[in-house]
Structure 1
Amino acid sequence: MEAQLYFFNVFTDKPKSGNPAACALLSYWPAPDVLQAIASEAKQVVTAFIVPIADAPSQYQIRWFSCVQEINLCGHGTLAAAALVRQLKGEGCYQFLSQHGELEVTASFAALQMILPQWFACPETQTELPPALLACQSIDYFQTRDLVLVLADEQAVQQFQPDFALIQQLKQHALIVTAFSSPDTYVLRYFAPRIGINEDIATGSAQCSLAPYWFKKTGRTEFKVRQLSLTDASFSVAINTQQLLLQTQAVNLPHLTRLVATTA
């Protein structure tokens, strides 16, 4: 069997910026090694695969793969999936279900708005920082799924020098460095060499940790977010006690669409 593999730039409304992703709508789940082979050949930061749920026209099962392994709760892969469903079915509210949780995206042609879970620091599981990270002179740190270093300012985040060998040895999923930039913006960088992504361009799941933290620190409920990677990407988040909402856009790259085999 074959399926169409579509390509998108996410966290942007411009074809030459944002975070690249691929997505395929499948009728069934192939073997994991087939999905991994497709993702490896696609050579995108992430490839998302979705399968419709019977008798639930707005619901899909979803899995995400980097070039080297399956990953969990990928925001930008989910946004690519929502952009694909919007392209094929039109505007709507779509749910994407995985073994790591459910994500909901309201997909209009003007924007993609995703509901994300909120992850809070767990003091009882606080970790000791490796000496090399202590040398970064962070003003705070905490862990959720990821290890988060809070630095003094935007310049410190921009100038942070990642040691990928060290980061790969961390027990957490990834390392995030962040700082607040007055009056309404926080910045970040995201490093995940354990899953084959040395530095991500734009990371939806990072906001699950950062937005609750900065809400608690500043009292603000709406933030502009800038990820200080080499490629321009932008989005906004709004937070309250019940929901975390991320809003952005995605651009289809039709010239890259191609057929892929879904059987070994």
Structure 2
Amino acid sequence: MHLEFHQVDAFSERPFAGNPAMVYRLQEWLSDGLMQQIAAEHNLAETAFVVQDRSQWQIRWFTPTTEVPLCGHATLASAHVLLEVYNVPSERLEFHSQSGPLSVTREQGRLLLDFPRIDPQPLQQRLPVAEALGCPVVEVLQTKELLVVLESEQAVRDCVPDMAAIAQLPGLGVIVTARGDAHDFVSRYFAPGIGIPEDPVTGSTHCCLIPYWAQQLGKTELRAFQRSSRGGELYCRLEGDRVKIGGYARRVASGTLML
């Protein structure tokens, strides 16, 4: 069996920046175990698999160790591959996922994700978050991840977490964020418990970052930057119970997996 794959740097206009994702367009689903093995073989933060169902697309995402319910950058990468490699004739792609319907459209040269809004809630229990991050924290909130507010962008840059301690905290991972210097806000995302010590650029975490910072800053259109070593810029908008997350994408490799 031969399977075609495409590697895309999402949330970047240039190669070797943003967040790399592997994309497979399948005729039908492979077994869960085989898709997990393929994701482990590529060893990227996410490998996305898409299958067409009439005019819609089913999408699933796998880290090297587990399937996840939502992934922004690999959805952006999948849309880029369908539009630019397979020439799917659409200005709006509809994906169905474990997290419900998702769409991707073009806007001003960027691809725009339409994702569900997630409002973080104050954490009700005392957790050793500051100890795990190795820095003071201003506020801790919770969704499927922990959302930790730090005092400055510099504090986000300087954060050196204890990955073993981070993996013991509840949830999929830990988002650290602060008001930005040149952007409205910045963030980083650590998820060693699901095989991602630090994710370069994470679209899905902005489902909760956007409503949080929209409330803090009193605006619904925001520019964000994920302060990983690769880095990536995101164009964000809050629209009712949805968030729009925009960015660029660049295909850097294509090939064939031979099984």
Q: TM-score, normalised by structure 1?
A: 0.91
Matched residue, 2:191? 192
Alpha-carbon shift at residue 39 of structure 1 (Å): 1.2
Moved more, 73-82 or 182-191: 182-191
SS at match of 2:165: helix
SS at match of 1:257: strand
Alpha-carbon shift at residue 137 of structure 1 (Å): 2.3
Alpha-carbon shift at residue 36 of structure 1 (Å): 1.2
Code of the residue aligned with 2:124 in structure 1: it is Q
Code of the residue aligned with 1:216 in structure 2: it is Q
Write 1 or 2 for the structure with the bigger share of strand.
Answer: 2
Instruction: Please list the CA deviations of residues 110-136 of structure 1 after superposition, one character each: whole Å capped at 9, or x if unmatched.
Output: 21001111111234x633221615973
SS at match of 1:224: strand
2:127 is equivalent to residue 129 of structure 1 = yes
SS at match of 1:105: strand
Between the aligned partners of 1:159 and 1:182, the Cα distance in structure 2 is: 15
**1:52-201 equivalence runs, <5 A:** 52-53=52-53, 56-57=54-55, 59-87=56-84, 88=86, 89-107=88-106, 110-123=109-122, 126-130=124-128, 132-133=131-132, 136-181=135-180, 185-201=184-200
Q: TM-score, normalised by structure 2?
A: 0.92
How many residues matched?
256
Matched residue, 2:257? 260
2:53 is equivalent to residue 47 of structure 1 = no
Instruction: Please list the CA deviations of residues 217-263 of structure 1 after superposition, one character each: whole Å capped at 9, or x if unmatched.
Output: 1111111111111113112101132431111111112xx3122257x
Alpha-carbon shift at residue 109 of structure 1 (Å): 8.6
Instruction: Please list the CA deviations of residues 112-166 of structure 1 after superposition, one character each: whole Å capped at 9, or x if unmatched.
Output: 001111111234x633221615973211110011101101111111111211001
- Unaligned 5+ segments in structure 2 are none
Between the aligned partners of 2:250 and 2:108, the Cα distance in structure 1 is: 11
Matched residue, 1:38? 38
SS at match of 2:197: coil
Code of the residue aligned with 2:3 in structure 1: it is A
User: What's the % identity of the aligned pairs?
Assistant: 36
- Unaligned 5+ segments in structure 1 are none
Instruction: Please list the CA deviations of residues 54-109 of structure 1 after superposition, one character each: whole Å capped at 9, or x if unmatched.
Output: xx32x111111111221220111111111111121144211111123221111469
Answer yes or no: is the 8 Å Cα contact 1:91–1:108 preserved in 2: no
Cα distance change on mapping 1:133 and 1:166 into 2, 3 Å: closer
Code of the residue aligned with 2:125 in structure 1: it is T
